[in-house]
Structure 1
Amino acid sequence: MITASILICGAGIVGLTVARDLVAAGYDDILIIDKEPEAGKHASGRNSGVLHAGIYYAPGSLRAQSCLQGNFRMKQYCEERGLPMLKTGKVIVARDESELPTLRELYSRATQNGAKVELIDDKQLAEIEPNAKSAGQALFSHYTAVVDPKEILKSIQAELLATGKVKILFGARFIGLGKAEGKRLSVRTTAGDISCAFFLNAAGAYGDVVAHAFGLGGDYQLIPFKGIYKKLKKEKAHMIRGSIYPVPNIKNPFLGVHFTRGAHGDVYLGPTAIPALGRENYGILSGIDSEAFSILLRDAVLFFRNKKFREVALEEPRKYSFTYFFNDARKLVKELSPDDIEATPKAGIRPQLVDVKKNELVMDFVIEGTYNSVHVLNSISPAFTSSLFFSEMLFKQYLAPKLAKL
């Protein structure tokens, strides 16, 4: 049997950054397991790379608290290690006058959250993003930046392994719990049983599955949303300097199709937020598994009982149509032709936690635990941006008090 003092399930950004904080606090004999052959294979390595600046989130929420501080820390991390980063900021544009009140609400939220933002007119917008258009007003976020998530994941992984205090076991899928040995947990995986004194669930899209095995998270289920991207052809990438976002529906957790210049200069359009039929349903059919029926059933219940979900479910699947997708993107810019856009294999799955009793989309982080385990049930966006702050908070408030008693 494999043994470890601390076992972390999930080698995504949350699992890796928490391990980093554990090492910094003097802990060792840490084992990270992941079912994939490499770190960050799913949401952590497939996101847009945008470091958000705390604009969208309700003041006082954990998302708001962690986003801006996480932004600052991730920028510093990239600068210290020479990792790719673009600090271009972003503009959020009102597409018509009906969106102006929401734009001003975003300004208010951002200001309360400590973000540096400005309400700008069309002349100022043209100086920042010449091709962006608005209904007379836009919001400019100074702190928004873009990084390469995969390079950050590689860097943190190398850092952890170099300490000699952390091991990573890939190809080890969590199966369930075995018979406990005194106060130690026995965790069953596809790579064998593992005995540990403490367990951290950072399993991302499977966080609810792992928590349920511990008798936790019974009120919650993660349902997947698919993010599909398009890309500007290389010779057209100059049309976008940084990032251009629409004013979102702030009652929903999705930000709408937008333009983002990546850390290496490519400009992507997207993502969508299409309800998916599998936690890894990246293609049309690929990734649909035995869970498809239960996901479809949960989607159906939400469709009839939750207005916010119904709006997303009716709107987003239309974006499978290139014409609909193009028209959505076209509203943000002065010039764009269908011929400027090409297909890309880039796609992601965003797991969204649902309170199954209330039939509500959960809009903040959710953390539960036992005396010898902690479970991150909802690594909700902007989890990548927030990670270096969120992991420290998770360690200090949830892990350290429990570890001190073991």
Structure 2
Amino acid sequence: MVEVKGAEILICGAGIIGLTVARELISAGYKDICLIEKEDALGRHASGRNSGVLHAGIYYTPDTLRAKSCLKGNMLMKEYCKEHGLPLFDSGKVIVAKNEQEIPILKELFKRATANGAKVELIDETQLNEIEPAAKTCESALYSYDTAVVDPKAVLKSLYDGLLQTGKVTILKNTQFKGIKGSAACMTTKGEITFGTFINAAGAYSDKVAHAFGVGLGFSLVPFKGIYRKLRPERASMIRGSIYPVPDIRNPFLGVHFTRGIDGSVYLGPTAIPALGRENYGILKGVDSEAIEILRRALVLFSENPKFREVAFTEPKKYLFKYFFEDARVLVKDLRPEDVIPTDKAGIRPQLVDWKTKELVTDFMVVKDGNSVHVLNSISPAFTSSMDFARFIVNNYINNAA
């Protein structure tokens, strides 16, 4: 068993952000890096449970971190997959409008995408039929050329193996963060580990880790559950790439959509159901002692944030097949209830909330405090953005640290 007493840089969390930050640190010349991971394997949570879609910078307000890093991250991830022989499906994506009222939003997405450097095109119904015959839209749709799909767990394993091969990185699994001791020691379930710099990449637990350092006390996470269904295998061929709805751009959720994966399976989802735990993947699975506090936070948002209230009214219905199916059916020409079957795929979106404003934080957030750096709100498109975002973190918060 590997035992580590200290490291130049200690990273909490070996998800996609932790691994890519470690990789970027190696490129920057660091030689003594340790990652701690509470699970016994990689990809147990968001990094391994996402759809594998590489987004192309369409939805995000220009000049935000998400907008700046998404397309660059997309290109870097594609390049990495090609170099390492990992599965990559250049699927493309269409965003379709259900009615005339959604056309202005579709045009706004086109403006945002163009401002962010994405290769997109507003297409008519004839063009849509050539690209994605099963999709239907009102008048026009948005086509994204650069959207692609990867295998998230294959990417994680490749990054993990590459880091270990450098001889400069130690990754301790089954090692949970328990707190800090002084300003340069981390308490874990495997004992004390000293550090020169601490990087919090703990995903769904990043707020808890930050709070242990006295950082981000006005922010905490509210989990949203994404459940999926899938097309029956014999019907999967009806979807060529990805079909997305026009989203409600007031909220950071994209709506139930169709995604053809690396293996040819087509998933429908995810939902954005307020959850009762950071790992609440089932009905009751993952509901723990924090559930009452999470419920309290959700009730505060429900009473004071109309946008959250709308999500809380509409999304839980999608546990029921009828409502989930209705969301999916309007995106395609011919979908029958018997075409859609259950799947155990589910994920949690750990959404940061600013409790001063009672608003959901819509951008990535990085906070430096002394010798600690905290990556908060690593929501979608964090997987897509990760390689460019990691470079941003290292260049701006580690290499240029005062």
TM-score band by shorter chain is over 0.9
Q: Which residue of 2 aligns with 1:235?
A: 234
Q: Do the aligned partners of 1:261 and 1:267 also contact (CA within 8 Å) in 2? A: yes
AA matched with 2:357? K
2:182 is the counterpart of 1:169? no
Deviation (angstroms), 1:266: 0.6
Could you tell me how far apart the structure 2 residues matched to 1:147 and 1:252 are?
26
Consecutive unaligned residues in structure 2, runs of 5 or more: none
Deviations for 1:126-172, whole angstroms, at most 9, x for unmatched residues?
00000000011100000000100000000000000000000100011
Q: Which residue of 2 aligns with 1:35?
A: 38
Q: Which residue of 2 aligns with 1:266?
A: 265
Q: Which residue of 2 aligns with 1:378?
A: 377
Q: How does 1:64-75 map to 2 (within 5 A)?
A: 64-75=67-78
Could you tell me how far apart the structure 2 residues matched to 1:191 and 1:274 are?
35
Q: Which residue of 2 aligns with 1:48?
A: 51
Deviation (angstroms), 1:401: 2.0
SS at structure 1 position matched to 2:303: helix
Q: Do the aligned partners of 1:84 and 1:264 also contact (CA within 8 Å) in 2? A: no
Could you tell me how far apart the structure 2 residues matched to 1:382 and 1:327 are?
26
Could you tell me how far apart the structure 1 residues matched to 2:160 and 2:307 are?
38
Q: Do the aligned partners of 1:201 and 1:375 also contact (CA within 8 Å) in 2? A: yes
Deviation (angstroms), 1:4: 1.1
Could you tell me how far apart the structure 2 residues matched to 1:36 and 1:106 are?
38
2:237 is the counterpart of 1:225? no
SS at structure 2 position matched to 1:401: coil
Could you tell me how far apart the structure 2 residues matched to 1:373 and 1:40 are?
24
Q: How does 1:159-238 map to 2 (within 5 A)?
A: 159-180=162-183, 185-238=184-237
AA matched with 1:161? L
Could you tell me how far apart the structure 2 residues matched to 1:390 and 1:152 are?
16
Could you tell me how far apart the structure 2 residues matched to 1:147 and 1:204 are?
20
SS at structure 2 position matched to 1:379: coil
2:313 is the counterpart of 1:310? no
AA matched with 1:170? K
Deviation (angstroms), 1:357: 1.2
AA matched with 2:322? T
Count the aligned residue pairs: 399
Deviations for 1:19-38, whole angstroms, at most 9, x for unmatched residues?
00111111111100010011
Q: Which residue of 1 aligns with 2:335?
A: 336
SS at structure 1 position matched to 2:215: coil
Q: Do the aligned partners of 1:33 and 1:169 also contact (CA within 8 Å) in 2? A: yes
AA matched with 1:263? I
Could you tell me how far apart the structure 1 residues matched to 2:304 and 2:386 are?
33
Deviations for 1:67-113, whole angstroms, at most 9, x for unmatched residues?
01000110111111111111020000001111000000000110111
AA matched with 2:249? I
Q: Which residue of 2 aligns with 1:102?
A: 105
Q: Which residue of 1 aligns with 2:394?
A: 395
Could you tell me how far apart the structure 1 residues matched to 2:163 and 2:379 are?
24
2:138 is the counterpart of 1:135? yes
With normalisation by structure 2, the TM-score equals 0.98
Could you tell me how far apart the structure 2 residues matched to 1:313 and 1:59 are?
28
Could you tell me how far apart the structure 2 residues matched to 1:247 and 1:275 are?
21
AA matched with 2:134? N
Could you tell me how far apart the structure 2 residues matched to 1:66 and 1:187 are?
30
Deviation (angstroms), 1:6: 0.8
Could you tell me how far apart the structure 2 residues matched to 1:30 and 1:61 are?
29
Pairing partner for 2:7 from 1, 4, 7? 4
Could you tell me how far apart the structure 1 residues matched to 2:303 and 2:213 are?
31
Q: Which residue of 1 aligns with 2:93?
A: 90
Could you tell me how far apart the structure 2 residues matched to 1:88 and 1:378 are?
27
SS at structure 1 position matched to 2:264: coil
Q: Do the aligned partners of 1:366 and 1:377 also contact (CA within 8 Å) in 2? A: yes
Could you tell me how far apart the structure 2 residues matched to 1:176 and 1:356 are?
23
Seq. identity, %: 64
Deviations for 1:386-406, whole angstroms, at most 9, x for unmatched residues?
00000000000011123xx6x
Could you tell me how far apart the structure 2 residues matched to 1:370 and 1:302 are?
28
Deviations for 1:32-51, whole angstroms, at most 9, x for unmatched residues?
00100112220000000000
Deviations for 1:108-129, whole angstroms, at most 9, x for unmatched residues?
1101110000101110000000
SS at structure 1 position matched to 2:315: helix
Deviation (angstroms), 1:179: 3.6
Q: Which residue of 1 aligns with 2:20?
A: 17
Deviation (angstroms), 1:371: 2.0
List 4+ stretches of structure 1 deviating above 2 A. Answer: none
Could you tell me how far apart the structure 2 residues matched to 1:201 and 1:179 are?
16
Q: Do the aligned partners of 1:30 and 1:166 also contact (CA within 8 Å) in 2? A: yes
Task: Kindly report the root-mean-square deviation, in angstroms, between the aligned alpha carbons of the 2 structures.
Answer: 0.8
Q: Do the aligned partners of 1:224 and 1:349 also contact (CA within 8 Å) in 2? A: yes
Q: Do the aligned partners of 1:46 and 1:348 also contact (CA within 8 Å) in 2? A: yes
Q: Do the aligned partners of 1:260 and 1:268 also contact (CA within 8 Å) in 2? A: yes
Could you tell me how far apart the structure 2 residues matched to 1:164 and 1:131 are?
50
AA matched with 1:255? L
Deviation (angstroms), 1:294: 0.7
2:289 is the counterpart of 1:286? no
